[in-house]
Amino acid sequence: MGIIYAGALYFRDRFNKNYGSQLAALLGFLRFAAVFMISFFLLKPLVKTTNNTEEKPIIVLAQDNSNSIIVGGDSSYYKNDYLIQIKALKEKLSEKFDVQTFSFGDEVKSGIDSIQFDEELTDFTALYDAINSKYSGRNLGAVVIASDGIFNKGSNPLYAFNSLKAPVYTIALGDTTIKKDALIAEVNANRLAYLNNRFPISIRAEGRKAKGEKAIVEVSHKGNVVFNQEITFDSNRASKTIDIIQEASSVGLQKYTVTISRLENEITYVNNKKDIYIDVLDSRQKVLILAANAHPDINALHESISNNEAYQVNTFLINKFSGNVEDYNLVIFHQLPAAGQLGANQILSKPSKNIPELIYMGWKH
């Protein structure tokens, strides 16, 4: 199009006579360039570029830092020679891969230079969450976990890593031989209780290679034994569940200690005790919600506050409320005061005993 347009305007004989061949050629070129560029951009050209970045596959090397690793008789090996070997493995893998190291136990930490095998808990779920959040969508080649497989927090590691889009390899540590052991495996109780109310505690005790052995499970509070029961392990891998009821007799954060007596020749006594903490409240905090009219926000407020066991919530429309606001610890006014709502102004203006008020304002469009 540019060539035809320029030729028709500037390269016919009559133009050459008026402008001369050089000026006609210059004007013809400029006309050609202008028409060419306009036509080119009207076609909406797309410039596509591709950038390729090469990176080594990532290998995650995770070391269990819990004290169960060194419970057996080979603890000296794990504290010395093993740490040298695991660091040598990291160096060897680093020749071909981007190696990222973690330690896990009570929590997940970067690096394996400060391994002491001194953490009380082992949580494979926290390790999975850390790996998944940090390397999701990355070039994760594999996960290598060095552990004895014993866990006491989170979900079963057999299922925790199912959704990870990378192969998982394990380095088996510790002594796989089952040794005699009596332990408090789990203690469940409500987080909150109220003064002079009764609350449940569920205890699960386990015995390993302790068939026929007897043990005593005790619960103590403030140094006093409040419950004890003798149990007998009827197999080499026995589990006993004990459900008890206690009375909340003191206000505040209360510590209860659950113990199981020691057996002869137990492998460890570290797991023979667990502590739980229960917050005992004098009474529930009472919350009053007063509303001008029915509204979805009112139900949302009621449900969200009621989810906390420390609060008791009552909800009324203002023209249905006949109680006393001074019986409550907090009053929430929803779109009040409002025109035509009897009693709202009286309640809002009534002197209170420093009762907090939360007011949701509303308006008409």
> What would the pLDDT profile of 63-91 be if each residue is shown by its tens digit?
998 888 877 667 788 888 889 999 999 99
Choice among 6-10, 47-51, 123-127, 330-334 with the minimum mean pLDDT: 6-10
Cβ atoms within 10 Å of 209's Cβ, excluding its own = 20
User: In the chain, where does DSSP find H-type helix?
Assistant: 2-10, 13-19, 21-42, 75-79, 81-93, 124-135, 157-160, 296-306, 344-349
Distance CA 201, CA 276 (A): 10
Q: In this predicted structure, what is the pLDDT of residue 156?
A: 77
With a cut of 90, say whether residue 277 has pLDDT above it. yes
Please report, to the nearest 10 degrees, the dihedral formed by the alpha carbons of residues 90, 96, 97, 102 taken in order.
Answer: 0
Cross-strand bridge partners of residue 228: 218
Would you call 144 exposed, middle or buried from its count of C-beta atoms within 10 A (0-12, 13-18, 19+)?
buried
Q: The dihedral of CA 159, 164, 170, 173: what is its sign?
A: negative
Which band of pLDDT confidence, cut at 50, 70 and 90, is reported for residue 106? confident
With a cut of 80, say whether residue 136 has pLDDT above it. yes
Q: Taking Cα atoms as reference points, which of 55, 58, 54 lies closest to residue 144? A: 58
Q: Taking Cα atoms as reference points, which of 217, 285, 224 lies closest to residue 250? A: 224
| 225 Cβ contact partners less than 8 Å away, ≥ 6 residues apart | 218, 219
Q: How many residues are present in the chain?
A: 365
Q: Which residue type is seen at 189? A: A
Average pLDDT over residues 288-304: 89
The token pair that represents 2 in the structure block: 């540019």
The 8-class DSSP code of residue 137 comes to T
Q: In this predicted structure, what is the pLDDT of residue 57?
A: 92
Going from the C-alpha of 76 to that of each of 89, 113, 156, 240, 271, the distances in angstroms are 19, 17, 29, 34, 21
Which band of pLDDT confidence, cut at 50, 70 and 90, is reported for residue 145? very high
H/E stretch holding 58 reads: strand 58-64
Q: Are 108 and 126 in contact (CB under 8 A)?
A: yes
With a cut of 80, say whether residue 162 has pLDDT above it. no
Which band of pLDDT confidence, cut at 50, 70 and 90, is reported for residue 138? confident
pTM beyond 0.75: the answer is no
Contacts of the segment 295-299: beta carbons below 8 A, 24+ positions apart: 295/334, 295/335, 297/334, 297/360, 298/334
With a cut of 60, say whether residue 188 has pLDDT above it. yes
Which band of pLDDT confidence, cut at 50, 70 and 90, is reported for residue 19? low
Distance CA 82, CA 73 (A): 14
Q: Are 246 and 199 in contact (CB under 8 A)?
A: yes
Please, what is the average pLDDT of the chain?
Answer: 84
**More confident call, 179 vs 166:** 166
Which band of pLDDT confidence, cut at 50, 70 and 90, is reported for residue 345? low
Task: For residue range 320-332, list pLDDT tens digits in order.
Answer: 888 888 888 888 8
With a cut of 70, say whether residue 262 has pLDDT above it. yes
Q: In this predicted structure, what is the pLDDT of residue 20?
A: 67
Would you call 259 exposed, middle or buried from its count of C-beta atoms within 10 A (0-12, 13-18, 19+)?
buried
Q: Taking Cα atoms as reference points, which of 274, 257, 309, 307 lies closest to residue 153? A: 274
Q: In this predicted structure, what is the pLDDT of residue 1?
A: 82
% of residues, the chain, pLDDT over 90: 30
User: In 62-200, where does DSSP find H-type helix?
Assistant: 75-79, 81-93, 124-135, 157-160
